[in-house]
Chains A and B, each alone.
Chain A
Amino acid sequence: MTTGIESPISVVGGQGAGRPRKRRRIRLLSRTDKIVLSIMVGIPTLIQLLLIWIPTVLSIGLSFVRWNGLDLTDIKAAGVANYSYVFKDYPPFWPAVQHNVLWLVFLAVIATPLGLLLAVLLDQNIRGSKIYQSIFFIPVMLSLALIGIIWQLFYQKDNGLLNFLLGTAGTPQAVDWFGDSDVNIWAALIAATWRHAGYVMILYLAGLKGVDASLKEAASLDGANAYQTFFRIVFPAMRPINIVIVVITIIESLRAFDIVYVINRGTNGLELISALVIQNLVGEGQVIGVGSALAVILLVISLVPIVFYLSRAFGKEKVQ
């Protein structure tokens, strides 16, 4: 917002000052400055390379080998055997893919629009807006692991509040919401929505504040009703935030892990690709190759929203 005001000034001043500035900078970057700069860049970059990008490449490498994780000399080439095993013979894989897709669709169709709706309602000057915001915001600060436990207390078969409200607690019809493989993915999705909607609400509240009020006035002067104003004017004006929300929603649905791991380690109806990766890496039947193949599948899917986002965020700068 402030940059919009400042930039014309700096452009005006920048034209004339541009050239000498560059020359000056080159001259004034002393030897010490160069050393300081290379340390300032070098240490963070080294950490990024060592702990994120080299492991990413190694993950790809490990997906083509057979290894028990113990001795480095035991590593044997396996070709695409891990992948064909995952795609053809690994029973939880396709259910996990379905659950990840379901997770994405649920967040995109239910949780995100709900967050947007809350933001739009709370953006108009209604009484108690701050109190409502604070309430919807609480779950955003909680870890998904803790959310799993809190909802476990709510969803329990015999002593949970939900079954009591439904009148089935203690009867044979009582549903074990987190235990029954037919319903637990939905129960987990509702718990995840509890957090995601508040997150989306906060981001959209900031986005709505940034929309120029005169746009809305102009639209209503032209006879647009509230819905038209929102969908034709306000929503498109929030394009940068919309993109962030789309990316966050996709990435959250790929990263979903904590909540299902707390419930039952991601088994019995709650399989997710991320959880399968870990199931193959820890425990007795350690199969690093299969775990890595699953990790690479997750990586490839994740690259789609990541590349989309980066091209949006940095595309303009490259041109400049």
Chain B
Amino acid sequence: MSSAVASRTRLSASGAPKPRGGKKRHYGTHIFLIVMAVMWLIPLAWSLFTALRPKADTDKYGYFSLGGTFNFDNFVQAWTQGGFPKYFMNSLIITVPTIILVLLLSSMMAFAVSRVSWKFNITLLIMFTAGNLLPPQVLAAPLFSMFKHFNLPYAISDSGNLLNTYFSVILVNTAFQTGFCTFVLSNYMKALSADLTEAALVDGAGIWRQYWNIILPLCRPAIAALATLELIFIYNDFFWPLLFIQSGDRLPVTTAINNLQGTFLSDYNLLAAGATITVIPTLIVYLLLQRHFVAGLTLGSSKG
């Protein structure tokens, strides 16, 4: 850590005057990029470093020291004391159905507006796209009141309404994300040749078969990209559970970490461990599906 900082200053001291001119220009670029990369990694590295040290050692040697042992005790303690198994389960319960619903609804909608020409398709597409761009806070008060007055049997919801249920978060996330995915998928489907469905039409294939058997399989790359993107978006969603879910034990991880600051008080080692645990699912996606995630991000902006 500190050695990286030291080498960074040494590098920039000796290397800075060199660049400019000819092929050596890249040295300047590298120095700049290394400095930026180190700065980019410091906050994460600091969290990990703090998380790996027992509180007793940091109390004894101070947070800015290398003394003492390094182990995963904080992670174990944060995992159990912070209730992470429960929160991860909640995240899973919210994320998986939302992604399936979003992709199903948005691909149907995108198919209808991009492959069939009818009167209101552009109007609807504009409505869907605009909805996704609104700040969520604009809808907070009416949605809260609507859900509060939407009665459900107590067998389904212990609040007697939609508040404090997973449904509320799933529903609203679905509505919000469907707009974005419809926009992306409709652009993707528009680029597919019209002959594909023409041929099927001649063979007497109905709309559903054209959608399910012909267009959808061709959209696999876009759907993979969007699924990855939505996985991260919904896992990272902080606001809707904060608004709708009152019982702490039903919160997904991202919203629950807000309460960890209270649970762990000033035990920064535990807090750092908790934060690091929360990063792990993202890290897995990052390592395995980064390509899809980037593809999803750029798909969303490829048309302006």
Contact = CB atoms under 8 A, between A and B. Distances in A.
Interface string A24-40: 11001110110011001
B297 interface: yes
For the residues of B in contact with A, the DSSP-based class is: helix
B131 A48 contact: yes
A161 B286 contact: no
Contact of B47 (A55, A150, A165, A261): A150
B208 A203 contact: no
Given A52-B176, A59-B142, A62-B142, A278 B137 contact: yes
A11 to B, nearest CB: 11
B182 interface: yes
Contact of B133 (A10, A153, A258, A309): A309
B22 interface: no
Contacts, number: 302
A255 B237 CA distance: 13
Given A141-B293, A243-B304, A121 B29 contact: yes
Contact of A40 (B109, B255, B294, B298): B109
A134 interface: yes
Contacts of A149: 257, 260-261, 271, 274-275
Contact of A134 (B42, B137, B290): B290
A146 B303 contact: no
Contacts of A159: 58, 63, 268
Contacts of B194: 10, 14, 21
A72 B42 CA distance: 52
A126 interface: yes
Contact of B41 (A21, A135, A255): A135
Nearest to A255: B135
Contacts of B303: 240, 313
A153 B47 contact: yes
A87 to B, nearest CB: 18
Given A69-B145, A241-B301, A47 B139 contact: no
A141 B230 CA distance: 11
Contact of A310 (B129, B142, B274): B129
B79 interface: no
A120 B109 CA distance: 37
Contacts of A33: 206-207
B37 A136 contact: yes
A150 B286 contact: no
B141 A295 contact: yes
A313 B129 contact: yes
Contacts of A305: 133
Nearest to B105: A44
B285 to A, nearest CB: 7
A153 B136 contact: no
A302 B135 contact: yes
Nearest to B275: A149
A88 interface: no
Nearest to A311: B126
Interface stretch (B69-77, B92-100, B152-160, B167-175): B167-175
Interface string B119-151: 000101111111101111111111111101100
Contacts of B201: 24-25, 28
Nearest to B297: A202
A318 B106 CA distance: 22
Given A44-B109, A149-B261, A295-B137, A139 B40 contact: yes
A312 B133 CA distance: 14
A135 B43 contact: no
Interface in B173-224: 174-176, 178-179, 182, 191, 193-194, 198, 201, 204, 206-208, 211
B64 A161 contact: yes
Interface string A250-266: 01001101100110000
A141 B286 contact: yes
Interface in B65-86: none
Contacts of A21: 194, 198
Interface in A243-287: 243-245, 247-248, 251, 254-255, 257-258, 261-262, 273-274, 277-278, 281-282
B144 A281 contact: yes
A314 interface: yes
B138 A56 contact: yes
Nearest to A141: B282
Contacts of B42: 154, 161
A285 B302 CA distance: 45
Nearest to A250: B133
A268 to B, nearest CB: 16
Contacts of A194: 40, 43
Given A48-B131, A55-B146, A302-B133, A136 B111 contact: no
A266 to B, nearest CB: 11
Contacts of A132: 33, 37
The 4 residue pairs across chains A and B that have the minimum distance between CB atoms: A143-B236, A240-B304, A58-B142, A51-B175
Given A44-B105, A72-B149, A136-B40, 20 more contacts: A32-B206, A32-B207, A33-B206, A37-B116, A41-B113, A51-B175, A53-B127, A59-B138, A69-B148, A121-B33, A135-B41, A141-B232, A141-B236, A142-B236, A146-B257, A146-B279, A156-B268, A164-B63, A296-B138, A310-B126
25 contacts: A21-B198, A25-B117, A30-B206, A33-B207, A40-B108, A53-B131, A55-B143, A58-B142, A59-B142, A62-B145, A140-B297, A142-B279, A144-B236, A145-B236, A146-B275, A146-B279, A151-B43, A154-B42, A154-B43, A161-B63, A240-B302, A257-B239, A281-B141, A299-B138, A313-B129
